[in-house]
Amino acid sequence: MPPAVPPCSSRSSSAGSPCRSRRVQRGDRADHDPPVAVRSVSRGRRYHQGVSRTGGVVCDATMSDAGRTPGSTSAPDPSRPVPPLADPAAFPPLDLTRRPWAGRQVTAGGVTLHVRETPGAPARAVYVHGLSGSATNWTDLAGLLAGRAAGTSVDLPGFGLSPPLEPRVWTPDANADALARFLRASGDEPVHLLGNSLGGTVCVLLAARHPDLVRTLTLVSPAVPDRRPDPRRLSDPRLALAMVPGSPGRRARAALAAMGPRERAEQVLTLCFGDPSRAPEHRIVEAAEEIVARGAMPWAGEAVNGAAFAMFAGWLRFGPASLWAAMRAVTAPTLVLWGDRDRLVSPRRADRTVRSLRAGRLLMLPGVGHIAQMEVPDVVACAVAGMWDAVDAGEWAGDVARDGKMRAAPRVEQVES
């Protein structure tokens, strides 16, 4: 969805920031900042596994007793274990003063994309942003995971600094096919593929159609069909009025056009974050600078409007042509992360999402919004690395181990009924 700005962190905040400077270690409860529970589609019990609002993983947070997503009426699925979390001590300190990773234009497979590359381990992770976002949405997470995988954060065609496809097509299908051609021509090994919002839709389609390209799949609040009318999904209520013909629409469009980049960045932050106070000042400035740069590109408006229309049109597909059908075709081990304060794609869609995946597990993040990889990058890093480790060990549900045999996933220790 729209670009936002990363949060403050317990590991890099100044004394005056909303977050304290003390890092939360395993088993270390911060008196000033209670832990956030991690909920998973599972047996509906309490487990020694959770995350803290300050971003460190702690052992004393609990799962939801119901084991369900907010508003879900379906029963917990006992066949899907709790996703494992990697030890936070294994990650470097989170430096939120870091500028976005260096970028360059790369042409591969007949597709030209602007990418930001994070040096790292031999494995490769590819990050795909959401509607109106860019490769900078992954700055912090890519840095945290660099010790496990080199990162390639892409600007989708027509977004960020990437030129549009020719002819100009903005559908998720076209983006998935273009990214598949790009990946096939630029590497020999399957990648860890991560997508947020619209980028999650693109990644699902790619993984379904090109399973040989994908080692694992991570979906952060993917833009699955969510046809509910909800005014809270607008960053500005005048956006709805702008569609009205006549003078009311003209006045609304003029008012929106007069907004400065700083105001627009703050609006997007408020919409996309569960807790906008997590954002440090310099990230807001970066987001505003990106808005200015995008405004100078002749295709910027067409890209956003075309991609949004195509995404919504895709939500009206049913049967074999639907996104749900594509999910059922995905064979890669898949981690689904969802903030329960997501206002753009309802958390109520999380259960169906993970149940549509052959090897999917779900982690709900209470207090977090639509862009978890920016709001709580340390938590997301622990979850993603935990999945990678489990897959490498052949311990992810539905995963085919290196010897070709199916292996059951171990359960997290149950400590309380």
The answer to whether position 13 is within a domain reads no
Closest CA to 5 of 260, 373, 258: 373
Strand partners, 105: 114
Q: What is the largest CA-CA distance in the chain?
A: 67
CA triple 182-303-197, angle to 5 deg: 70
H/E element, 112: strand 111-118
The answer to whether residue 156 sits within a structural domain is: yes
Q: Which domain holds residue 163?
A: 88-227+259-416
Judge whether 65 lies within some domain.
no
C-alpha 96 chain-centroid distance:
18
Q: What is the CATH number of the domain that holds 181?
A: 3.40.50.1820
| Burial class of residue 318, CB neighbours in 10 A (0-12, 13-18, 19+) | exposed
Question: How many independent structural domains does the chain possess?
Answer: 1
Residue 111 CA: distances (Å) to CA of 203, 211, 402? 17, 20, 33
Nearest Cα to 114, choosing from 151, 183, 162?
A: 162
Q: pLDDT tens track of the chain, all 417 residues? A: 443 333 333 333 333 332 322 233 333 333 333 333 444 332 222 223 444 333 333 322 223 323 345 544 344 455 567 899 999 999 999 888 889 999 999 999 999 999 999 999 999 999 999 998 999 999 999 999 999 999 999 999 999 999 999 999 999 999 999 999 999 999 889 999 999 999 999 999 999 999 999 999 999 999 999 866 665 655 445 455 455 577 766 675 676 566 788 988 888 888 899 999 888 787 888 889 998 999 899 999 899 989 999 998 998 899 999 999 999 999 999 999 999 999 999 999 999 999 999 999 999 999 999 999 999 999 999 999 999 999 999 999 664 434 333 333 333 222 222
Sequential DSSP letters for 36-48: EP-B-SSSS-EES
**Does residue 6 lie in a domain region?**
no
Asked if 148 and 124 count as a contact pair (C-beta separation under 8 A), the reply is no
C-alpha–C-alpha distance, residues 40 and 335, integer Å: 11
Per-residue pLDDT at 229: 61
Which among 213, 218, 199 has a CA at the least distance from the CA of 336?
A: 218
What is the reported pLDDT for 79?
A: 56
Cα separation of 36 and 7, whole Å?
A: 16
Residue with tokens 């954002």: 279
175 domain residue, yes or no: yes
Domain presence at residue 135:
yes
21 half-sphere exposure, CB direction, 13 A CA radius: 4
Which of 276, 295, 293, 296 shows the shortest CA–CA distance to 284?
Answer: 276
Residue 26 DSSP symbol: T
Is 402 part of any domain? yes
Residue at 178 is within a domain:
yes
pTM, to two decimals? 0.78
In the three-class reduction of DSSP (H, G, I as helix; E, B as strand; rest coil), residue 365 is classed as: strand
Of 233, 278, 263, which is closest to residue 373 (Cα–Cα)?
278
Helix (H, G, I), strand (E, B) or coil at 308: helix
Question: Tokens 């059922």 map to which residue?
Answer: 328
d(CA 312, CA 324): 14
